[in-house]
């Protein structure tokens, strides 16, 4: 295994952990960075499989909360509704992702110009959302009605287009339907667990015949880097979003998308 490939894997893993839970599109960033680094992964599996590091980061940070949810599930109706709501929100993107898996991996993942355009469009949407005078009705993710959870899940389907952002689409959808910023971001965290775990398992299954032992060190390095960075982000993101909103992430998207388009025009 070439040292440069491992260095690229570390860089991409850190980028995954940094961007997975903020509304800037981790997949879009990794695909663009990989394009310009010349990084090639078997079946584009690396970009999906290192998300396991981000999943474990959530489990680590929310371990106590998750244990309480599991303990309360049999006897507490509010907890059961929350868990069912997460599963309802997960289903639309899961079905569409399986149905369109080949098109997503072979066409959308291979179109860096589309990723840049989606980054820019998403940035404009976040700037618009941040300036709306929204009056939230829901302040706790545990209290979201099931109908709202399903609608958030439909918004998550937009994230199947790389560059859109899973967290961005779910947070924007939740805000438009009456949640506050903190509860929208927290629901997005919990929704990430089944969504990313499902994507990981399905992509591993689809690539089982093409992945080899030579791919494991690169994936493992990227996984560890993603885990470490994601733990840091998850610990601090909710407080930041509650206080400052999404303008920083909007400008981040606009700059990365614009620079990416310029670089593609100049270097291809």
Query: Which is higher by pLDDT, 18 or 2?
Result: 18
Q: How many angstroms separate the CA atoms of 182 and 261, rounded? A: 32
- Is the confidence at residue 99, as pLDDT, over 90? yes
On whether the CB atoms of residues 231 and 16 are closer than 8 A, the answer is no
pLDDT at site 235: 87
pLDDT of residue 29: 92
Mean pLDDT of 155-164: 94
Q: What are phi and psi of 177, to 5 degrees?
A: -105, 15
Give 45 or 149, the one with higher predicted confidence. Answer: 149
| Mean predicted confidence (pLDDT) in 83-102 | 95
Exposure string over 124-155, b if 16+ CB within 10 A, otherwise e: ebbbebbeeeeeeebeebbebeeebbebbbbb
Please provide residue 121's backbone torsions phi and psi, each rounded to the nearest 5 degrees: -60, -40
* pLDDT value for 229: 93
Which residues, other chains included, contact 56 with Cβ-Cβ below 8 Å and sequence gap of 6+? Answer: 227
Task: For residue 123, give every residue at least 6 positions away whose Cβ sits within 8 Å of its Cβ, in sequence order, or none.
Answer: 249, 250, 251, 252, 253, 254, 257
Pairwise CA distance, residues 139 & 168, whole Å: 18
The token duo for 108 is: 């959308």
Q: pLDDT band for position 234 (50/70/90)?
A: confident
Sorted by where each begins, the domain ranges of the chain are 3-267
For residue 55, pLDDT over 90 is answered with no
Distance of CA 217 to the CA centre of its chain: 23
The predicted-structure confidence for 59-71, as pLDDT tens digits, reads as follows: 898 899 999 999 9
Q: If pLDDT is split at 50, 70 and 90, which confidence band does 4 have? A: low
**Between 158 and 241, the higher pLDDT residue:** 158
**Whether this model's pTM surpasses 0.85:** yes
pLDDT (mean) for 208-232: 86
Supply the DSSP string of the chain, one letter for each residue. --HHHHHHHHHHHHHHHHHTTTTT-HHHHHHHHHHHHT---GGG-HHHHTHHHHHHHHHHHTHHHHHHHHHHTTT-HHHHHHHHHHHHHHHHHHHHHHHTHHHHHHTGGG-HHHHHHHHHHHHHHHHHHHHS----SB--GGG--HHHHHHHHHHHGGGGSTTS-HHHHHHHHHHHTTB-HHHHHHHHHHHHHHHHHHHHHHHHHHTTTT--GGGHHHHHHHHHHHHHHHHHHHHHHHHHHHHHTTHHHHHHHHHHHHHHHHHHHHH-
CA pair distance 166, 197, nearest whole angstrom:
14
The fraction of the chain above a pLDDT of 90, given in percent, is: 59
Res 43 pLDDT > 70 = no
Position 2 scores a pLDDT of: 59
- Is the model's pLDDT at 1 over the cut of 50? no
């Amino acid at each position: 295994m070439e040292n440069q490939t491992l260095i690229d894997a570390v860089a991409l893993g850190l980028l995954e952990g940094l961007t997975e839970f903020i509304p800037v599109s981790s997949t879009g960033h990794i695909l663009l960075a990989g394009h310009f680094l010349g990084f090639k992964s078997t079946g584009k599996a690396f970009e999906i499989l290192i998300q396991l590091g981000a999943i474990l980061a959530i489990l680590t940070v929310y371990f106590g909360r998750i244990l309480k949810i599991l303990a309360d599930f049999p006897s507490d109706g509010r907890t059961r509704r929350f868990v069912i709501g997460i599963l309802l929100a997960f289903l639309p993107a899961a079905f569409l992702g399986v149905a369109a898996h080949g098109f997503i991996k072979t066409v959308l993942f291979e179109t860096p110009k589309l990723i840049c355009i989606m980054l820019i469009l998403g940035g404009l949407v976040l700037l618009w959302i941040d300036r709306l005078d929204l009056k939230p009705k829901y302040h706790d993710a545990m209290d979201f009605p099931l109908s709202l959870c399903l609608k958030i899940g439909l918004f998550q389907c937009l994230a199947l287009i790389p560059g859109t952002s899973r967290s961005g689409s779910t947070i924007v959808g939740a805000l438009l339907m009456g949640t506050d910023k903190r509860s929208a971001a927290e629901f997005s965290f919990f929704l990430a667990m089944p969504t990313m775990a499902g994507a990981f398992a399905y992509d591993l299954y689809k690539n089982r015949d093409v992945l080899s032992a030579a791919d494991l060190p690169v994936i493992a390095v990227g996984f560890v880097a993603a885990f470490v960075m994601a733990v840091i982000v998850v610990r601090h993101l909710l407080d930041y979003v509650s206080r400052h909103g999404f303008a920083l992430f909007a400008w981040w998207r606009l700059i990365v998308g614009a620079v990416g388009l310029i670089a593609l025009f100049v270097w291809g």
